[in-house]
């Protein structure tokens, strides 16, 4: 993953540091900057956060051309040597890279054989050395030759001592270009440059960018100019700050964002597909990664109660390589908070190529995913900063549930009355969640008991099982406690062997039809001395209850996940974890 940035501007150093802070959600293993000052490039990098880098910079660091990087490690351990930028062996080039150079081993082998010494274990360093090798008096030509040697996914920004230009090479990893009256910005994310740039362009694949004070030009890998359109963007607000943790703030925002998501759905015209397309659909895929996948899992379970066509949730990284059937009868919802998750974008590309209809369900309508898909809907959760996704999950569920309800209605598998019931019931969710949040003291107290668990298992049945999956994901990603989710009936096929004192089981019991069944599972684990907590609007024996309000039976997932989000947060806080930036993770995963 990683965030990359480059600028030609009067405040290049400050702008780079600001942009890196904004990009830190893409990785925070290390940070670095390279500044061109006169004929030299001065390069500084450090393991850890951007604030560490900032503290290490000399006060006289100045220049009008700079590149910067925040890293999520793929090749090579987390250390300053593996941090970007990288110098070429002659120090005449410096590069930052996001993506994976898949053929780097053979490139490295050849460079090493020709006498080049590598300073890092990364794939990215090969790019800097290739540029120096190919330079024969024309930087653009060296960039073209280098680009043609690279395989994999890459967005690379390059500066050199030879001219005042910034160069970039792009294939599959995101790269946006912004321009001002007398400068340019190259970056992984529009949001991080729109405070400066008046106009931006999304760089297509297999394109080279040349930027300087007088403008930006685009070339293909054959060196021929290619046309790329710029569009105006709204100025982004300054990076939000928070007293305390973003994660807690974002959980507290869930009621408002859930209301906003429904309002947004109505305002944008909802599903909004031509009747001909709706008629053709015989199969629906819900594709995403992590929390976004869990929202697909939940909505698939809900949809199967409303329609009789195949509704299939699939993990995006599996979709790409497996042989899921796709044809013109296929509708796929590609779910992604950031819209930059590489696996989800690849899945969308595959579905389009094979004739399916692609529908992005995202929190970032200017994202790469939005450009790949046939249609886009905004989940309206507003910016989410904590790595562990919370409010975006609830808004994905609202938007997807409404989309699938409309689809079921248009396909004639539910009537108008049922459709309207679901839509109306959405209006009560905000206050149901408000109630849970105002009673959070009990959840915070339970966290004290859960924090010392040797393992935590989440169980549920039917639409409660995806909630168990999301609860488990939240807990493990920010507390580092081992956790798994199971359909409750599966416990007896293996996992019961792990039940003993010290283990916690969290049961989700919102499906009134299956209450007896989940109560039996609770009893089975309690008998084996596991501590049991049950999230439910009902009464369940042998468990400590987290009571939630009664809502429409199809909408429990949007509500019952909230106590689990809070519980994870409080457990992680009690264990002194960095809840907003958990170890080894990043908010946006832009490599396959
Ligand atoms: C990362 C984040 C998760 C997120 C997943 C998918 O792993 O840490 O919180 O659910 O990516 O992200 P997306 O932006 O595609 O929803």
Check if 336 has its Cβ closer than 6 Å to any atom of ligand 1. Answer: yes
Query: What separation in Å is there between the alpha carbon of 471 and the centre of ligand 1?
Result: 15
Does the C-beta of 588 come closer than 6 Å to ligand 1?
Answer: yes
Give this prediction's pTM: 0.90
Distance from Cα 434 to the centre of ligand 1, integer Å: 25
Under DSSP, is residue 104 helix (H, G, I), strand (E, B) or coil?
A: helix
Give the C-alpha separation, 249 to 47, whole Å.
28
CB atoms within 10 A of CB 77: 10
Ligand 1 pocket check: which of 298, 587, 592 to mutate, most ligand atoms within 8 Å of Cβ? 587
- pLDDT per position in the chain (592 positions), as tens? 699 999 999 999 999 999 999 999 889 999 999 999 888 999 999 999 999 999 999 999 999 999 999 998 888 888 999 999 999 999 999 999 999 999 999 999 999 999 999 999 999 999 999 999 999 999 999 999 999 999 999 999 999 999 999 999 999 999 999 999 889 999 999 889 989 998 999 999 999 999 999 899 999 999 999 999 999 887 766 566 778 899 999 999 999 999 999 999 999 999 999 999 999 999 999 999 999 999 999 999 999 999 989 999 999 999 999 999 999 999 999 999 999 999 999 999 999 999 999 999 999 998 889 999 999 999 999 999 999 999 999 999 999 999 999 999 999 999 999 999 999 999 999 999 999 999 899 999 999 999 999 999 999 999 999 999 999 999 999 999 999 999 999 998 999 999 999 999 999 999 999 999 999 999 999 999 999 999 999 999 999 999 999 999 999 999 999 999 999 999 999 999 999 999 999 888 877 7
Peptide bond into 85 cis (omega under 30): yes
**Nearest protein Cα to ligand 1, atom 11:** 588
CA of 56 to the centre of ligand 1 (A): 31
Q: Give Cα separations from 437 to 219, 378, 430, 545 (angstroms).
A: 53, 25, 11, 15
Question: CA 113: distance to chain centroid?
Answer: 39
386 Cβ below 6 A of ligand 1: no
Shortest-distance atom of ligand 1 to CA 290: 10
- 166-187 b/e (C-beta count within 10 Å ≥ 16 → b): bbbbbbbbbbbbbbbeebbbbb
344 ligand 1 Cβ < 6 A: yes
Beta strands in 90-148, from DSSP E residues, in sequence order: 93-101
Residue with token string 């599966």: 490
Residue 295 beta carbon below 6 angstroms from any ligand 1 atom: no
Q: Cβ atoms within 10 A of the Cβ of 574, count? A: 15
Task: Point out the ligand 1 atom lying closest to the alpha carbon of residue 289.
Answer: 6
Ligand 1 binding pocket includes 98 (Cβ within 6 Å): no
Distance 173 CA to ligand 1 centre (A): 16
Task: Say how many Å lie between the CA of residue 580 and the centre of ligand 1.
Answer: 13
Is the minimum distance from the CB of 23 to ligand 1 under 6 angstroms? no
Ligand 1 pocket test: which of 339, 588, 591 has the largest number of ligand atoms within 8 Å of its C-beta? Answer: 588
The residue whose two tokens read 């008991």 is 449
Q: Which long-range contacts (CB under 8 A, 24 or more apart) does 138-145 make?
A: 139/163, 139/165, 139/167, 140/167, 140/208, 140/210, 140/219, 140/223, 141/223, 143/167, 143/169, 143/208, 144/208, 144/219, 144/221, 144/222, 144/223
Phi, psi of 415 (to 5 degrees): -90, 175
Q: What is the CA radius of gyration of the chain?
A: 25
Question: 291 C-alpha vs ligand 1 centroid, how far in Å?
Answer: 6
Can you give the pLDDT at residue 238? 58
The three-state secondary structure class of 216 is strand
Residue 345 CA to residue 360 CA, distance in Å, equals 10
What residues are annotated to the active site?
A: 2, 587
- With a 6 Å cutoff on the Cβ, whether 591 touches ligand 1 is no
DSSP 191: G
Q: What residues does 314 pair with on adjacent strands?
A: 287
Indicate if ligand 1 lies below 6 Å from the C-beta of 144: no
Q: How far is the CA of 358 from the centre of ligand 1 (A)?
A: 19
Yes or no: say if 151 and 101 are a contact pair by the CB < 8 Å rule. yes
């Amino acid at each position: 993953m990683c965030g990359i940035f480059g600028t030609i501007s009067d405040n290049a150093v400050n702008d780079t540091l600001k942009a890196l802070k904004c990009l830190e959600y893409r990785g925070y293993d290390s940070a670095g900057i390279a500044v061109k000052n006169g004929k030299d490039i001065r390069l500084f990098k450090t393991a850890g956060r951007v604030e560490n880098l900032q503290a290490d910079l000399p006060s006289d660091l100045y220049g009008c051309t700079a590149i910067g990087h925040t890293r999520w490690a793929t090749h090579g351990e987390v250390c300053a040597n593996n941090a970007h930028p990288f110098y070429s062996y002659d120090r005449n080039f410096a590069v930052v890279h996001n993506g994976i150079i898949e053929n780097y081993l053979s490139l490295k082998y050849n460079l090493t054989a020709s006498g080049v010494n590598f300073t890092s274990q990364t794939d990215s360093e090969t790019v800097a050395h290739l540029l120096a090798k190919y330079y024969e008096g024309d930087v653009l030509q060296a960039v073209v030759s280098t680009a043609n040697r690279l395989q994999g996914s890459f967005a690379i920004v390059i500066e050199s001592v030879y001219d005042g230009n910034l160069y970039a090479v792009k294939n599959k990893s995101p790269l946006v270009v912004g321009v001002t009256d007398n400068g340019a910005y190259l970056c992984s994310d529009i949001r991080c440059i729109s405070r400066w740039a008046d106009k931006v362009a999304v760089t297509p694949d297999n394109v080279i960018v040349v930027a300087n004070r007088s403008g930006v030009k685009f070339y293909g890998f054959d060196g021929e100019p290619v046309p790329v359109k710029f569009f105006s963007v709204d100025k982004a607000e300054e990076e939000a700050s928070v007293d305390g943790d973003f994660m807690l703030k974002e959980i507290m925002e869930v009621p408002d964002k859930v209301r906003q998501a429904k309002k947004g759905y109505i305002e944008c015209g909802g599903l909004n597909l031509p009747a001909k397309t709706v008629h053709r659909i015989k199969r629906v895929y819900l594709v995403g990664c992590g929390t976004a996948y869990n929202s697909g899992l939940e909505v698939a379970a809900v949809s199967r109660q409303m329609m009789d066509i195949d509704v299939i949730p699939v993990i995006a990284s599996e979709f790409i390589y497996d042989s899921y059937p796709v044809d013109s009868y296929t509708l796929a919802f590609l779910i992604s908070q950031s819209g930059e998750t590489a696996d989800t974008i690849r899945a969308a590309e595959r579905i389009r190529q094979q004739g399916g209809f692609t529908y992005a369900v995202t929190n970032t309508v200017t994202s790469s995913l939005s450009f790949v898909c046939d249609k886009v809907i905004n989940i309206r959760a507003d910016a989410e900063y904590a790595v562990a996704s919370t409010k975006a999950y609830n808004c994905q569920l609202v938007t997807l549930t409404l989309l699938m309800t409309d689809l079921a209605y248009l396909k004639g598998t539910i009537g108008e009355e049922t459709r309207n019931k679901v839509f109306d019931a959405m209006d009560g969710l905000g206050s149901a969640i408000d109630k849970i949040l105002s009673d959070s003291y009990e959840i915070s107290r339970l966290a004290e008991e859960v924090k010392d668990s040797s393992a935590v298992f989440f169980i549920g049945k039917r639409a409660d099982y995806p909630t168990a999956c999301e609860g488990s994901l939240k807990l493990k990603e920010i507390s580092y406690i081992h956790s798994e989710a199971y359909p409750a009936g599966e416990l007896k096929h293996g996992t019961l062997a792990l039940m003993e004192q010290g283990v916690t089981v969290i049961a989700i019991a919102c499906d009134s039809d299956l209450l007896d069944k989940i109560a039996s599972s609770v009893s089975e684990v309690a008998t084996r001395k596991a501590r049991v907590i049950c999230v439910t609007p009902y009464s369940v024996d042998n468990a400590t209850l987290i009571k939630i309000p009664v809502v429409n039976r199809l909408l429990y997932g949007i509500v019952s996940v909230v106590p689990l989000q809070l519980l994870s947060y409080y457990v992680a806080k009690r264990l002194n974890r960095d809840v907003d930036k958990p170890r080894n993770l990043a908010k946006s995963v832009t490599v396959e």
